[in-house]
Amino acid sequence: MVHAVHTAPLLALFALGVAGGATYSKDCSVPNTGPVLTSCASQPAVYSCENTAPIKDTCCSPTPGGLVLATQFWSTYTGLENKKQKLPKGAWTIHGLWPDNCDGSYEQYCDLSRQFDPKPSPAKFPDGTVIPAYKGPGRRRHQRVSYVGQFSKHATCTSTFDVKCYGPSYKKNQDVINYFDAAIRAYHLFPTFDVLAASGIVPSNKTTYSLAQFERALAAQFGTTPYLGCTNNGTVLSEVWYFNHVLGTEQYGSYKPLNSTSPSSCTKTGKIWYYERSKNSEQEVRK
Ligand SMILES: *[C@@H]1O[C@H](CO)[C@@H](O)[C@H](O)[C@H]1NC(C)=O
Ligand SMILES: *[C@@H]1O[C@H](CO)[C@@H](O)[C@H](O)[C@H]1NC(C)=O
Ligand SMILES: *[C@@H]1O[C@H](CO)[C@@H](O)[C@H](O)[C@H]1NC(C)=O
């Protein structure tokens, strides 16, 4: 299902792979990009942020950054339709996979040697130091979400994507590809569109819904309430963040959904629009 949401990161991946000098064998076999986890079997199996003893091997469990957010967008058009960038019919889109600290605070752009974001946001660290924009090859000018930007901003702060976790045979940008795969896997755990639709909540430019309706439908499947984000003073649904603790790595481990630690930005009492996509802004990708 939902191949278009695969396509965007994969395109970015190949753009970067080629530019970054990664080699793909001529027979198109796909190299393994996963980390080396041989030492993890001897570590205690605990969910991130629920450990009582310090995590010894940070390649085995996201540390800090153990409050893992799988984030998605709802938007009605891309503005890049003439560049053939449309939205996937019947699906929300991937924003990223973020490492919040257990208390909800977070770090960003943790390793400037892996900075591929052409437009860092924020532009500066809290101490005022400018985050240098990526000016190297492989930049995609027409892209709504910079997936390599998501890597540089978030994966570099997630210990299980640290370069050392890939062992002595680490290949340049292997961690970038591995992050995209992990973000896609986490995205598939939370099929927002289908779960809402199953409760009769479908995009409409005629009917509004309440925050409680959205939350009830999602909680009925995931057992917890994600963060729902709205624009236009809380009246237009635009994003969802699923909070998790993870046992093992973000790449392969088990995700345990948690209630959101941030209050929704959507109106608690008013009407919320879950708008239909614009005409010609969607494409069928479920084949
Ligand atoms: C935003 O919403 C609040 C209540 O939800 C309302 O009191 C306020 O007037 C609204 N502001 C604007 C600019 O519409
Ligand atoms: C999530 O919140 C709901 C409603 O407030 C509560 O009933 C439930 O116990 C919470 N679940 C977890 C895992 O904290
Ligand atoms: C529904 O409304 C949104 C927000 O105004 C707009 O972007 C979208 O194009 C509309 N969709 C249709 C099918 O009219």
Domain boundaries, the chain: 3-283
> Taking a C-beta distance cutoff of 8 angstroms, is the pair 53, 253 a contact?
no
pLDDT in tens, 154-165: 999 999 999 999
pLDDT at 12 over 90: no
| Most confident segment among 3-12, 18-27, 106-115 | 106-115
Report the nearest atom of ligand 1 relative to the CA of 269: 5
H or E element in which residue 88 lies: strand 87-88
Query: Which listed ligand is nearest to 265 at the C-alpha?
Result: 1
Å from CA of 233 to ligand 1 middle: 6
What whole-number distance in Å separates Cα of residue 48 and Cα of residue 37?
16
Q: Measuring from each residue's beta carbon to the nearest atom of ligand 3, which residues come in under 6 Å?
A: 76-77, 205, 275-276, 278-279
The single-letter DSSP state of residue 154 is H
d(C-alpha 86, C-alpha 77), whole Å: 7
**Is the minimum distance from the CB of 235 to ligand 1 under 6 angstroms?**
no
Residue list, ligand 2 pocket, CB within 6 Å: 224-225, 258-259
User: Do the beta carbons of residue 132 and residue 112 sit within 8 Å?
Assistant: yes
Q: Is the CB of residue 179 less than 8 Å from the CB of residue 41?
A: no
| Cβ 265 vs Cβ 229: under 8 Å | yes
**Residue 86 confidence class, pLDDT cut points 50, 70, 90:** very high
Which ligand 1 atom sits closest to the C-alpha of 267?
5
In angstroms, the CA 175 to CA 183 distance is: 12
Nearest 5°: phi and psi at 211? -55, -40
Residue whose pair of structure tokens reads 């976790």 in the numeric block: 165
Residue nearest to atom 12 of ligand 1 (CA): 233
What mean pLDDT comes out for the span 30-36? 89
Looking at ligand 3, which residue's alpha carbon is closest to its atom 14? Answer: 278
* pLDDT at site 21: 38
Residue 22 has what pLDDT?
Answer: 43
Residue 233 burial (C-beta neighbours within 10 Å; 0-12, 13-18, 19+): exposed
Mutate to test the pocket of ligand 3, among 232, 277, 280 (most ligand atoms within 8 A of CB): 277
Mean pLDDT (the chain) is 89
Q: Is 44 in the pocket of ligand 1 (CB under 6 A)?
A: no
What is the sign of the dihedral through the CA atoms of 28, 34, 38 and 44?
Answer: negative
Q: What is the pLDDT of residue 212?
A: 98
What is the DSSP pairing of strand 87-88 with strand 227-231?
unpaired
Q: Is the pLDDT of residue 57 over 90?
A: yes
Q: Assess whether the C-beta atom of 234 lies below 6 angstroms from ligand 1.
A: yes
Give the position, in ligand 3's atom list, of the atom nearest the Cα of 236: 4
CB under 8 Å to 225, separation ≥6 — which residues? 215, 218, 219, 259, 260
Highest mean pLDDT among 13-17, 100-104, 143-147: 100-104
pLDDT digits (tens, 9 = 90+) for 224-262: 999 999 999 999 999 999 999 999 999 999 999 999 999
* Distance from residue 203's CA to the centre of ligand 3 (Å): 10
Give the span between the Cα atoms of 114 and 153, in whole angstroms: 9
Which has more confidence, 21 or 239?
A: 239
DSSP state of 106: B
- Between 218 and 80, residue with greater pLDDT: 218
**Quick one: pLDDT band at residue 1, thresholds 50, 70, 90?**
very low
pTM exceeds cut of 0.85: yes
Residue having the nearest C-alpha atom to atom 6 of ligand 2: 224
Closest residue (by CA) to atom 11 of ligand 1?
233
Q: Which amino acid is at 156?
A: T
Q: Whose CA is nearest to atom 5 of ligand 3?
A: 275
Instruction: Report the percent of the chain where pLDDT is more than 70.
Output: 88
Domain 3-283 superfamily per CATH: Ribonuclease T2-like (3.90.730.10)
State the pLDDT at residue 143.
65
- For the packed helices 174-188 and 147-154, what is the interaxial angle rounded to 10 degrees? 100
User: What's the pLDDT band for 29 if we cut at 50, 70, 90?
Assistant: confident
131: its two tokens:
């985050």
Most confident of 23-37, 111-125, 261-275: 261-275
pLDDT band at 40 (very low <50, low <70, confident <90, very high): very high
Rounded Cα gap, residues 200 and 109, in angstroms:
40
For ligand 1, whether the C-beta of 270 sits within 6 Å is yes
pLDDT value for 139: 74
Residue 26 has pLDDT above 90, yes or no: no
